[in-house]
């Protein structure tokens, strides 16, 4: 456990702080957090961070509670795993999820934490982690789909000092970089993380100088208390005390031919607290789809949802954590035992958002969203240039793709968009300038968004033409199960991947695979899932459906799923539309709250090969030491 070196006398705190000062400091914290991002984007080298923004900042109070941030992580858990002193000028560093209580969730995330000192006291912490394109391991990109332990996934740096009282520990850095394929990218990205945290530290020191340390700290207490009070009211008014709500969803497969894996969560209110209990979740996987879920992180996910729905102007923080109790049985998919593989944890991460949505909306369907954050699709492409000025040079791409955003109470889900607030696409021009490939197609997949009063967002089809031999790794999900629709909305379309070889042959690829050899001229179609629909499709404006057919978002046949018939000119045939809608209403029965697109998993297995071109996954296999009967 860390020993923090600071003045022995207690930190001063003002008795109270006026609302205007709270507002000023709150917005200064927002700006400091945004400035962390700006520093990182302008100084990192990897496209995953520089262009895609796969990073997450945080500013915390002296106890390590987040007061502003995007993702949230557990500074106290990190400090528990750190042996030694923490002093002014130190910068702490780790890439080991098991050593920091899941503050990061796989080895590709490099985490930097910096104590912020004012007059000898620790007045807070700045932290930021980013996804490194490569951290070593058995495959380029360090996310092997067939790993059975974390030791196959790259270098694991325990909690250490990267800077000791302002002095860089060259040996720590040298050891970390010696294990990775993209040394200059990692060095640059790590330096950028440190610079961003130092910038946040300066901004906090300026606030303390401007307002006084006592006023600054009292403001943090006020912000944390405000979230506590707001969440207490929301929990009491929206979470039932008289029943237990449950929801189940699945990760389609583990990359090794087994699946689907069940994630199950129950929710109820007990003595003023919200309980989120994952008992019933499958035991941990032999493969790498395990997601080491930090309890505080899931509390943050819950709070983000609640505050975004009911009061999006609030700066959400960790203040409400005592009101939420997250229970995750050890040895399960969400709390695997060391050294379980974690490299494909992104699918479980995406699924728990869908599960949270399914839980929180059951009693208030008007706030319910469909499924849509169904994964975080990854593509890795690597090899050696054989032609031109770069001949002999190693290239390595890591890129995140996006699927369809779910239909929502507020309207349609965007097509091919990220649910993460700051994630953006890597520009095609950037990819073509720095990597040996051409993007021949980048378009939405018509009809992949689930029909509804509000349509789910369409998935996207990115067609990569490879210009150099190399190897490809793919990470995705929702190829076996569907993103479900709600309130009568229909499910979104599945993901799929296939290669059109230069010799004319076509090869269907699984959603999780490594070491796929590609040659010059091969074309990869990377198609992502659509979002589920919201509400009765027969209530959607027929003229809007006709417009979407004109724009290529819905096909003519797809329009019939909304009960809309178009004439040869593409106009709505009113009489035929009314007749078709009446026919559909008469034959469909009561609209379900959730439409998963299947009645049971065995039915889905029977349909799988014909519908996807891939064999159905075999029932899951679990390690003998994993939690059984859960």
CA distance to 91, 132, 316, per residue, from 107 (Å): 19, 9, 27
Q: What is the model's pLDDT at position 376?
A: 83
The whole-angstrom separation of Cα 474 and Cα 524 is 11
In a domain, 299, yes or no: no
Beta bridge partners of residue 251, listed in sequence order:
261
Which three-class secondary structure state does DSSP give residue 418? coil
Do 179 and 37 lie in a common domain? yes
Per DSSP, the three-state class of 73 is coil
Residue 421's pLDDT is what? 66
CB 413, CB 491: distance < 8 Å: no
Rounding to the nearest 10 degrees, give the CA dihedral for residues 305, 311, 317, 322: -70
**One domain for residues 512 and 630:** no
Residues 274 and 323 sit within 8 Å (Cβ to Cβ): yes
HSE-CB at 257 with a 13 A cutoff on CA atoms is 2
- How far is the CA of 340 from the CAs of 345, 595, 612, 620, in angstroms? 11, 33, 30, 16
**Which of 179, 194, 227 is at the close of a domain?**
227
Pairing mode of beta strands 378-384, 324-327: unpaired
- Report how many helices (DSSP H) and strands (DSSP E) the chain contains, helices first: 13, 24
Does 316 map to a domain?
A: no
Q: For 261, left (φ over 0), alpha (ψ -120 to 50), or beta?
A: beta
CA dist 488 and 582 (Å) reads 16
CB 227 within 8 A of CB 143: no
Q: Is the dihedral of CA 380, 332, 74, 277 positive or negative?
A: positive
**14 and 86 housed in the same domain:** yes
Q: Cα(246)–Cα(360) distance, rounded to whole angstroms?
A: 10
Specify if 308 maps to a domain: no
Both 551 and 605 in a single domain?
no
Are 205 and 90 contained in the same domain?
yes
DSSP string, 398-448: EEE---PPPPBTTBPPPSS--SSTT--PPPHHHHHHHSSEEEEEEEE-TT-
Q: pLDDT at position 215, please? A: 96
What is the count of structural domains for the chain? 4
44 shares a domain with 70: yes
> Do 172 and 78 fall into the same domain?
yes
Do 532 and 549 lie in one domain? The reply is no
For residues 303 and 132, give the distance between their C-alpha atoms in angstroms, rounded to a whole number: 28
Supply the pLDDT for residue 629: 45
Do 30 and 154 fall into the same domain? yes
Domain boundary among 494, 519, 536: 536
pTM over 0.85: yes
**For residues 115 and 108, what is the distance between their CA atoms, to the nearest angstrom?**
23
- Give the domain extent around 582: 538-590
Strand 2-4, strand 84-86: pairing: parallel
Beta bridge partners of 470: 518
Angle made by CA atoms 209, 211, 217, in degrees to the nearest 5:
95
CB atoms within 10 A of CB 615: 11
CB proximity list for 58: less than 8 A, separation 6 or greater: 33, 66, 68, 69, 70, 71, 72, 73, 75, 125, 126, 127, 128
110 & 250 share domain = no
Q: Is 265 helix (H, G, I), strand (E, B) or coil?
A: strand
**323 domain-assigned:** no
Q: Are residues 564 and 444 in the same domain?
A: no
pLDDT number for residue 70: 75
Q: Which residues of the chain have pLDDT under 70?
A: 72, 312, 374, 420-421, 627-630
Indicate whether 81 and 219 sit together in one domain.
yes
Residue 408 within any structural domain of the chain: yes
The pLDDT value recorded for residue 479 is 97
Residues forming beta bridges with residue 59, ordered by sequence position: 68, 126
Residue 321 within any structural domain of the chain = no
Answer yes or no: are the C-beta atoms of 306 and 316 closer than 8 Å. Answer: no
**306 inside domain:** no
In this prediction, residue 630 carries a pLDDT of 44
Domain assignment of residue 623, yes or no: yes
């Amino acid at each position: 456990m860390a020993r923090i070196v600071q003045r022995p006398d207690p930190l001063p705190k003002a008795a109270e702080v006026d609302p205007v000062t709270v507002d000023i400091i709150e917005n200064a914290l927002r700006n400091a957090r945004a400035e962390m991002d700006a520093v990182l984007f302008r100084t990192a080298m990897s496209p995953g961070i520089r262009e895609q923004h796969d990073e997450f900042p945080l500013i915390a109070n002296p106890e390590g509670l987040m007061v502003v941030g995007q993702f949230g992580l557990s500074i106290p858990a990190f400090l528990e795993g750190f042996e030694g002193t923490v002093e002014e000028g130190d910068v702490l560093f780790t890439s080991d999820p098991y050593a920091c209580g899941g503050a990061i969730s796989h080895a590709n995330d490099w985490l930097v934490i910096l104590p912020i000192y004012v007059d000898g006291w620790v007045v807070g912490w700045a932290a930021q982690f980013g996804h490194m394109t490569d951290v070593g391991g058995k495959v380029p990109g360090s996310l092997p789909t067939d790993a059975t332990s974390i030791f196959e996934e790259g270098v694991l740096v325990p909690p250490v000092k990267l800077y000791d009282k302002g002095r860089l520990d060259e040996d720590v850095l040298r050891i970390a970089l010696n294990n990775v394929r993209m040394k200059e990218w990692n060095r640059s990205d790590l330096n950028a993380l440190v610079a961003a945290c130092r910038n946040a530290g300066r901004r906090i020191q300026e606030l303390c100088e401007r307002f006084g340390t006592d006023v600054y700290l009292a403001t943090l207490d006020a912000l944390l208390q405000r979230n506590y009070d707001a969440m207490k009211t929301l929990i009491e008014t929206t979470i039932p005390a008289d029943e237990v709500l449950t929801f189940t969803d699945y990760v389609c497969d583990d990359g090794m031919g087994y699946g689907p894996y069940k994630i199950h969560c129950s929710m109820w209110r007990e003595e003023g607290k919200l309980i989120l209990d994952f008992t019933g979740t499958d035991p941990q996987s032999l493969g790498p789809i395990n997601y080491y879920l930090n309890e505080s992180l899931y509390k943050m996910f819950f709070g983000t949802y609640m505050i975004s729905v009911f009061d999006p102007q609030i700066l959400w923080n960790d203040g409400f954590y005592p009101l939420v109790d997250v229970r995750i049985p050890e040895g399960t998919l969400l709390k695997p035992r060391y050294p379980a593989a974690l490299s494909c944890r992104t699918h479980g991460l995406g699924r728990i958002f869908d599960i949270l949505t399914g839980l929180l909306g059951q009693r208030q369907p008007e706030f319910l969203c469909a499924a849509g954050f169904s994964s975080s699709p990854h593509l890795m492409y690597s090899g050696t240039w054989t032609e031109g000025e770069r001949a002999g040079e190693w290239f390595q791409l890591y890129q995140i793709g996006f699927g369809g955003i779910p239909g929502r109470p507020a309207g349609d889900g965007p097509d091919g968009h990220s649910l993460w607030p700051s994630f953006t696409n890597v520009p095609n021009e950037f990819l073509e300038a720095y990597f040996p490939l051409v993007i021949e197609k980048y378009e939405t997949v018509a009809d992949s968004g689930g029909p509804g009063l509000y349509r789910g967002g369409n998935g996207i089809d990115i067609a990569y033409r490879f210009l150099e031999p190399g190897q490809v790794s793919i990470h995705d999900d929702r190829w076996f199960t569907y993103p479900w629709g709600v309130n009568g909305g229909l499910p979104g379309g599945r993901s799929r991947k296939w290669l059109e070889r230069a010799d004319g042959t076509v090869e269907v690829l699984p959603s999780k695979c490594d070491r796929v050899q590609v040659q010059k001229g091969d074309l990869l179609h990377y198609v992502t899932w659509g979002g589920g629909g919201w509400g009765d499709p027969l209530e959607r404006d027929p003229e809007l459906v006709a417009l979407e057919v004109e724009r290529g978002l819905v096909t003519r046949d797809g329009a019939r799923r909304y009960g809309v018939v178009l004439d040869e000119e593409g106009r709505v045939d009113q009489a035929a539309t009314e007749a078709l809608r009446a026919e559909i209403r008469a034959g469909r029965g009561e609209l379900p709250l959730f439409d998963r697109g299947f009645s049971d998993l065995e039915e889905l297995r029977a349909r799988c090969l014909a519908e996807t071109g891939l064999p159905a996954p075999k029932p899951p296999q679990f390690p003998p030491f994993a939690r059984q009967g859960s």
